[in-house]
Chains A and B, each alone.
Chain A
């Protein structure tokens, strides 16, 4: 059996794992990451995309708030191509307790978060769609962040510094060597090949699945998963982040993100054995739309694109074990100390925007365990794509001849790395996804350099299929392109096409009314009626002669 050896093995390709891999790789450690599905396919990919200013925690969790604003500032420098510095508002509605506004202002000031009181009129000038009845507003340095881009950029940098990444690869068992954890048995799900992953230190960064990974090692690490649902609005209805100025509850935020807006979130505690195959419930949709309606009137009457849910991997630190009040603090466990298990650490808890700090802490621990002296450089090293800021105008001039909207969209997603694949070759800038302006060149780049192994991976790297049509035209085109690029032959590509359409459908089901239903009917007529995709599983009609 093949043996893959390294100094540090990271289990989990979410933002925490990716960030840890990058930090280790930048320090010169020989690092490997395995991920059972695709990068950012877990909780990271179900994130609401809000780059906190920390204001949200200023009242109830001042420590978190300070952490947040520090990381907020760092990320805006090193990950600027993943971030839109939109700014945010905390708005108070007539029904809200005005006292909270004062508390928030105080808490922000105490935590060093820039927080300005502005008039309702000023707020409406910043955000014309705001409820005209708001009575007060606070301006904070919120932003929006794309978790897929962020994860992918961390992985890209890690790989460029010598790390290895294996997606669609899962852990199947533990390797113990002289009473220390020496690694894990793994299975490449795509090829079916089992192999051994041997490492001096294993980092369990698998989020909510961390409990399972620890269980392999006979370690009990109880997690208290909390389901959070979000609703996506078909177009970008707001330009600044809008927060409800009240104690945290459901439906408090409307976050703009690229070409859409997101209304979030809910919080439902769920039993651990139900963390797979979660669905968004009707009552969650109702609450989100009703609360969103209060911030932006009429938003619930526009087109709802899809809804999805993720699981917050809340680790019990001590005391409270339910609701929003379980600490979202960072949990770093050296299992040698806690459980007598040498060679395993777990990094869990925290939130997306403190990933870098979590990674730094973990890499520090890893280095200590390996006896290596290497300082963290992620505080100031920009991610690929966030290099020197290539202004959009300059990129557009350089690639004049390609439509501005195409250049702009590509530049948004990849920053200066877009220059590596943007080309005036008509084949390259031909559009595959027309809703989000994803070109054949970008798809090729994602397949060849960003580890997009199927259409669902591709969607995460490029936004293909994330627009109003949800893959109606681009799914087939992308499947076709995959056969040309090589990673998939015809029937595998067909399988990918089916998987992609089913994945899109999962997010459409909870919101299947109005234009979403019309779009689905149309997509269904194409893939069933025109393309006969449903016939594929049928046993061959060898007895049905023409």
Chain B
């Protein structure tokens, strides 16, 4: 089995890379060992949120050049501002082809509201989280409602409201909370207090009883025109359901991400995978790449757990295995490693160095910055310190950036995935 490009890892970076490869007419397979971190992401894409640390960046593209210059080892430096911008445009186009609209605030950052009522700077959000209407309405409301579904344990507006109220941006705005009772709860023997977001999302998909739901939303909103609901308004049929709900209520509804599973993240994951399949990509799910042969500075083939002694060959390989959660990087009692090829990692030995003193340290934890070392062309170094010619690394497996401190997680995944595809196509 031979492909132009085999991508190890089917998360945000891997899928972006795969889509761009297909866009350039290359044959492409993605091998993914389990579902990706998108499943608990906010569904928004952070490009550059903070620089210097703690200082919100209003216009990321204005800051990007300066930011990159100061950090030649950063993955963004290996892409360049033009490629970064092109990658985000490409990303939006591909998702739009699957019906998922991604919005930005022009070329500025915008805030999205979290379940705890904090505002996080981000660059791209799904239309139900940020769009023109939301942007205009957000700060001019005398009253905002944050509602939940009665009995839903994974979203509590009380927590969000309390923190929103403390934000000076809302000092002239009354924040009300409430809950709506869904008409479907009586019809199921399942305990509605154990519904997850996905269960609610599927119920909304069915569209039945939406009129009643809309009436209850309107009532619970108590006159607020701007209403926040947990992000469960449709799972697969979200556009239609949200439009109907807004038409019926005549309110501006925005979605707030909940405890996992994150429907917002899932929509993005589904759209990316669907687009990948539609464009002819092969997605091998539930299999783990366990090794590959690097000889003479080139990777010839990889082996997977399921395919045993079969060699999966490609002209180029992209390692998009993700961070520790996904198994792209491995930590043991006193060391870290990259488990597939044993690539050289950039990290601090000594476990005490891996974490910050406090869990919610705004700088994040040092281990978030650890990853595989790459050269300016995103090529990793093999066991002998030589760059592997036809292997590129993208996304969270990379060293040299702090997605939390910088607010750059999604952007790095997309930009490096895109950049890698460009290089593969060029070769």
Direct contact between A and B in the complex (CB less than 8 angstroms)? yes
Q: A282-B351, A540-B166 are in contact. Are A517 and B158 (CB under 8 A)?
A: no
Question: Using Cβ atoms and an 8 Å threshold, which residues of chain B touch A448?
Answer: none
A429 to B323, CA, bound (A): 36
Main secondary structure of the interface of B (DSSP, over half): loop
Question: Using Cβ atoms and an 8 Å threshold, which residues of chain B touch A542?
Answer: 168-169
Q: Which chain B residues (21-50) contact chain A, with CB distance < 8 Å?
A: 37, 40-42
Q: Which chain B residues (167-210) contact chain A, with CB distance < 8 Å?
A: 167-169, 191-194
Q: A513-B351, A530-B257, A533-B360 are in contact. Are A524 and B162 (CB under 8 A)?
A: no
Q: Which residue of chain B has the shortest Cβ distance to A528 in the bound complex?
A: B404
User: Cβ of A480 and Cβ of B156 under 8 Å apart?
Assistant: yes
Question: Using Cβ atoms and an 8 Å threshold, which residues of chain A touch B168?
Answer: 540-542
What is the interface residue range for chain B against chain A? 35 or more
A525 to B352, CA, bound (A): 20
A494 to B153, CA, bound (A): 16
User: Cβ of B116 and Cβ of A536 under 8 Å apart?
Assistant: yes
Which of A221-229, A324-332, A497-505 faces chain B? A497-505
User: Cβ of A473 and Cβ of B323 under 8 Å apart?
Assistant: no
User: Cβ of B161 and Cβ of A490 under 8 Å apart?
Assistant: yes
Pick the contact of A502: B163, B351, B359, B404 (CB < 8 A): B359
CB of B381 closer than 8 Å to a CB of A: no
Interface core residue of B138, B158, B358, B404 (most chain A CB under 10 Å): B158
A248 to B404, CA, bound (A): 47
Q: A479-B159, A480-B159 are in contact. Are A501 and B169 (CB under 8 A)?
A: no
Q: Which chain B residues (254-275) contact chain A, with CB distance < 8 Å?
A: 257, 259-260, 262
Q: How far is the CB of A383 from chain B (nearest CB, A)?
A: 31
What is the interface residue range for chain A against chain B? 35 or more
Q: Which residue of chain B has the shortest Cβ distance to A505 in the bound complex?
A: B359
Question: Using Cβ atoms and an 8 Å threshold, which residues of chain B touch A484?
Answer: 156, 158
CB of A57 closer than 8 Å to a CB of B: no
User: Cβ of A521 and Cβ of B367 under 8 Å apart?
Assistant: yes
CB of B2 closer than 8 Å to a CB of A: no
Question: Using Cβ atoms and an 8 Å threshold, which residues of chain A touch B367?
Answer: 517, 521
Question: Using Cβ atoms and an 8 Å threshold, which residues of chain B touch A525?
Answer: 37, 40-41, 325
Pick the contact of A517: B153, B260, B262, B331 (CB < 8 A): B331
CB of B114 closer than 8 Å to a CB of A: yes
Q: How far is the CB of B183 from chain A (nearest CB, A)?
A: 16
CB of B85 closer than 8 Å to a CB of A: no
A282 to B118, CA, bound (A): 37
Question: Using Cβ atoms and an 8 Å threshold, which residues of chain A touch B331?
Answer: 512-514, 517
CB of A128 closer than 8 Å to a CB of B: no
Question: Using Cβ atoms and an 8 Å threshold, which residues of chain A touch B259?
Answer: 473, 476-477, 526, 530
CB of B362 closer than 8 Å to a CB of A: yes
CB of A397 closer than 8 Å to a CB of B: no
CB of B252 closer than 8 Å to a CB of A: no
A476 to B323, CA, bound (A): 24
Q: How far is the CB of A544 from chain B (nearest CB, A)?
A: 5
Interface core residue of A491, A501, A518, A535 (most chain B CB under 10 Å): A535
Question: Using Cβ atoms and an 8 Å threshold, which residues of chain B touch A498?
Answer: 360
Pick the contact of B325: A427, A521, A540 (CB < 8 A): A521
Q: A502-B358, A529-B41, A546-B139 are in contact. Are A536 and B153 (CB under 8 A)?
A: no
Question: Using Cβ atoms and an 8 Å threshold, which residues of chain A touch B135?
Answer: 546
Q: How far is the CB of B53 from chain A (nearest CB, A)?
A: 11
Pick the contact of A536: B163, B193, B257, B262 (CB < 8 A): B163
Question: Using Cβ atoms and an 8 Å threshold, which residues of chain B touch A514?
Answer: 331-333
CB of B283 closer than 8 Å to a CB of A: no
Q: Which chain A residues (437-486) contact chain B, with CB distance < 8 Å?
A: 440, 473, 476-477, 479-481, 483-484
User: Cβ of B153 and Cβ of A426 under 8 Å apart?
Assistant: no
Question: Using Cβ atoms and an 8 Å threshold, which residues of chain B touch A476?
Answer: 115, 154, 156, 159, 259
Q: Which residue of chain A has the shortest Cβ distance to B354 in the bound complex?
A: A512
A239 to B313, CA, bound (A): 49
User: Cβ of A493 and Cβ of B158 under 8 Å apart?
Assistant: yes
Query: Contact flags (1/0) for A416-432 with B, using CB distance below 8 Å?
Result: 00000000001101111
CB of B248 closer than 8 Å to a CB of A: no
CB of B409 closer than 8 Å to a CB of A: yes
Question: Using Cβ atoms and an 8 Å threshold, which residues of chain A touch B324?
Answer: 517-518, 521
Q: Which residue of chain A has the shortest Cβ distance to B151 in the bound complex?
A: A427
CB of B422 closer than 8 Å to a CB of A: no
User: Cβ of A480 and Cβ of B42 under 8 Å apart?
Assistant: no
Q: How far is the CB of B71 from chain A (nearest CB, A)?
A: 21
Q: A426-B192, A521-B324, A530-B41 are in contact. Are A494 and B159 (CB under 8 A)?
A: yes
Q: How far is the CB of A131 from chain B (nearest CB, A)?
A: 21
User: Cβ of A533 and Cβ of B158 under 8 Å apart?
Assistant: no
Question: Using Cβ atoms and an 8 Å threshold, which residues of chain A touch B361?
Answer: 534
Pick the contact of A524: B54, B117, B332, B359 (CB < 8 A): B359
CB of A527 closer than 8 Å to a CB of B: yes
User: Cβ of B120 and Cβ of A526 under 8 Å apart?
Assistant: no
A471 to B358, CA, bound (A): 16
A505 to B105, CA, bound (A): 37
CB of A522 closer than 8 Å to a CB of B: yes
Question: Using Cβ atoms and an 8 Å threshold, which residues of chain A touch B325?
Answer: 518, 521-522, 525
CB of A393 closer than 8 Å to a CB of B: no
Q: A426-B192, A525-B40 are in contact. Are A513 and B332 (CB under 8 A)?
A: yes
User: Cβ of B360 and Cβ of A526 under 8 Å apart?
Assistant: no
Pick the contact of B40: A440, A522, A535 (CB < 8 A): A522
CB of A509 closer than 8 Å to a CB of B: yes
Q: Which residue of chain B has the shortest Cβ distance to A517 in the bound complex?
A: B331
CB of B60 closer than 8 Å to a CB of A: no
Pick the contact of A501: B154, B332, B359 (CB < 8 A): B359
User: Cβ of B118 and Cβ of A526 under 8 Å apart?
Assistant: no
CB of B364 closer than 8 Å to a CB of A: yes
Q: Which residue of chain A has the shortest Cβ distance to B333 in the bound complex?
A: A513
User: Cβ of B355 and Cβ of A512 under 8 Å apart?
Assistant: yes
CB of B379 closer than 8 Å to a CB of A: no
Other contacts beyond A514-B331, A546-B139: 7, CB < 8 A: A427-B193, A430-B151, A497-B159, A530-B114, A532-B120, A545-B139, A546-B135
Which 5 residue pairs across A and B have the least CB separation, nearest first? A490-B162, A430-B193, A480-B156, A532-B118, A505-B359
Could you show 21 A-B contacts with beta carbons less than 8 Å apart? A282-B351, A426-B191, A430-B151, A440-B153, A473-B259, A476-B259, A477-B153, A490-B158, A497-B116, A518-B325, A520-B365, A521-B367, A524-B359, A524-B365, A524-B404, A526-B40, A529-B40, A529-B404, A530-B41, A530-B262, A532-B116
Give chain A's interface residues, CB within 8 Å of chain B.
282, 426-427, 429-432, 440, 473, 476-477, 479-481, 483-484, 489-491, 493-494, 497-498, 501-502, 504-505, 509, 512-514, 517-518, 520-522, 524-538, 540-542, 544-546
Give chain B's interface residues, CB within 8 Å of chain A.
37, 40-42, 54, 56, 58, 105, 110-111, 114-120, 135, 138-139, 151, 153-156, 158-163, 165-169, 191-194, 257, 259-260, 262, 323-325, 331-334, 351-352, 354-355, 358-362, 364-365, 367-368, 404, 409
